C-alpha cells in the first residue's frame, strides 16, 4: 500500500475530510476516498473517522492507498460500424452513448469489449484496461475513431498524434451566431479546481490547446461548425466553444444555463429539450500508415444530429 500524509492549514478549516482528500490527491475520486475512509484506511489525528468529519487547522491525516486492481476487459459481441480495417488498424464509427474503455461504472459494453471480440488481439501499449486505444472520444460524442492491433502500429500512430500531424475534423451544433465565419481558439486547458469533472481554459497551469473553426451554416439562434483540432485535450472543443460563448447544444457540463427561446417553433423547442447529449460528432480522421499509405475516413453525423439541424433550418424558412 502507498502511505500518504497531509497537514490541514488554516484556509481549510471546516472542510469535509473527503473533499480535502479529493482536492489534495485528485488522482482518486471523492467516492473512492469515501470508500477508503469507510474501510478504515484513513485516519484523522491517529484515529478512524467518517468522510464528513470537519477539519481543523493542525489536523494530521494519514492514508494507506491499496494498488489498483485492473480487471482484464472481456471480448463481447457488440455490434460495430467498421469503416476501415487492415492488419494494423481498425477504424469504427462510434455511436453516442458508448464508452471507449473500462472505468468507474463501466466494465462491459465498451468499445474495447467489442474490439476484442472482433479483432482477437489489440496493441498493449495503452495498458491492460485500454488495449488498442491511442485516442478516445467522450461517451456521448459520436464519430470516427481508430484502434491499433499491434504495438508497432500503436506507437506509429501515437507519434503522429504527438506531432499534431493527424487530420481530425468534428461537426458541432452550437448556440448563437459567430462574429467571424472562421477563426482559431487558442490557450491553456486544465482541470477545473472547483469541479474535477470539468476542464477549463481559465487556468495558468494547463496544456496548450488549439482549435480552428469554420461556420458551415447559421440561423438566427444556432450555428453548425466544423472544428479542426491541432491539439487533442480532454473536452477541447466543448471548452473552446463554451468559453467563446457558443456552447455545444445539449452539452451537460458546459452548456447549462441556456434557456430555449420561446420564439422557436414548438417542435424545435421539444427537440432541444429532449436532446440529452452534446451535439458533437468526429467526422474525419486521417493519418499515415507504417507503409506510407494515407488513410482518410469520414462519417456523416448520426440521425439525431441531422434531424436536429433540419428542425433548426426549418425555423428560418
Which residues are marked as active site?
138
CA–CA separation, 173 and 180 (whole Å): 16
CA–CA separation, 223 and 226 (whole Å): 10
* Grid cell listed for 241: 466553444
Helices 303-315 + 266-274 axis angle, to 10: 150
* Grid cell listed for 203: 487556468
Q: Return the SS3 of 11.
A: helix
Characterize 151-173 residue by residue with b for buried, 16 or more Cβ atoms within 10 angstroms of its Cβ, and e for exposed.
eebbebbbeebeeeebebbbbbb
CA–CA separation, 25 and 62 (whole Å): 12
**Contacts of residue 161, Cβ cutoff 8 Å, sequence gap at least 6:** 134, 135, 232
**Residues 184, 210: contact at Cβ < 8 Å?**
yes
* Grid cell listed for 85: 480495417
CA–CA separation, 222 and 249 (whole Å): 9
* Grid cell listed for 58: 493542525
The length of the chain in residues reads 317
Q: Give the pairing of strands 60-65 and 199-200.
A: unpaired
**Contacts of residue 160, Cβ cutoff 8 Å, sequence gap at least 6:** 166, 287, 288
| Kind plus residue range of the DSSP H or E element containing 173 | strand 167-175
Amino acid at each position: 500500500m502507498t502511505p500518504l500524509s497531509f497537514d490541514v492549514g488554516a484556509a481549510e478549516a471546516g472542510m469535509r475530510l473527503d473533499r480535502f482528500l479529493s482536492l489534495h490527491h485528485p488522482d482518486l475520486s471523492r467516492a473512492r476516498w469515501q470508500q477508503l475512509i469507510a474501510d478504515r484506511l484513513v485516519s484523522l489525528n491517529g484515529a478512524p473517522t467518517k468522510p464528513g468529519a470537519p477539519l481543523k487547522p493542525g489536523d494530521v491525516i494519514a492514508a494507506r492507498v491499496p494498488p489498483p486492481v485492473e480487471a482484464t476487459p472481456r471480448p463481447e459481441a457488440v455490434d460495430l460500424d467498421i469503416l476501415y480495417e487492415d492488419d494494423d488498424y481498425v477504424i469504427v464509427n462510434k455511436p453516442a452513448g458508448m464508452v471507449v474503455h473500462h472505468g468507474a461504472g463501466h466494465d462491459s459494453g465498451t468499445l474495447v469489449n467489442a474490439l476484442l471480440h472482433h479483432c482477437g488481439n489489440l496493441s498493449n501499449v495503452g495498458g491492460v484496461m485500454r488495449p488498442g486505444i491511442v485516442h478516445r472520444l467522450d461517451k456521448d460524442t459520436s464519430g470516427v475513431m481508430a484502434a491499433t492491433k499491434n504495438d508497432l502500429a500503436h506507437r506509429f500512430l501515437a507519434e503522429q498524434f504527438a506531432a499534431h500531424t493527424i487530420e481530425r475534423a468534428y461537426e458541432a451544433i452550437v448556440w448563437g451566431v459567430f462574429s467571424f465565419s472562421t477563426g482559431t481558439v487558442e490557450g491553456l486547458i486544465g482541470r477545473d479546481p472547483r469541479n474535477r469533472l470539468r476542464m477549463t481554459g481559465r487556468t495558468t497551469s494547463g496544456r496548450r490547446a488549439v482549435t480552428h473553426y469554420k461556420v458551415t451554416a447559421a440561423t438566427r439562434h444556432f450555428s453548425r461548425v466544423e472544428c479542426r483540432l491541432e491539439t487533442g485535450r480532454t473536452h477541447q472543443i466543448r471548452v473552446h466553444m463554451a468559453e467563446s460563448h457558443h456552447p455545444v447544444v445539449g452539452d451537460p457540463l458546459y452548456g447549462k444555463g441556456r434557456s430555449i427561446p420561446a420564439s422557436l417553433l414548438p417542435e424545435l423547442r421539444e427537440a432541444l429539450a429532449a436532446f440529452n447529449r452534446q451535439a458533437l460528432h468526429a467526422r474525419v480522421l486521417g493519418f499515415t500508415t507504417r507503409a506510407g499509405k494515407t488513410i482518410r475516413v469520414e462519417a456523416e453525423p448520426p440521425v439525431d444530429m441531422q434531424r436536429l439541424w433540419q428542425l433548426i433550418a426549418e425555423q428560418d424558412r
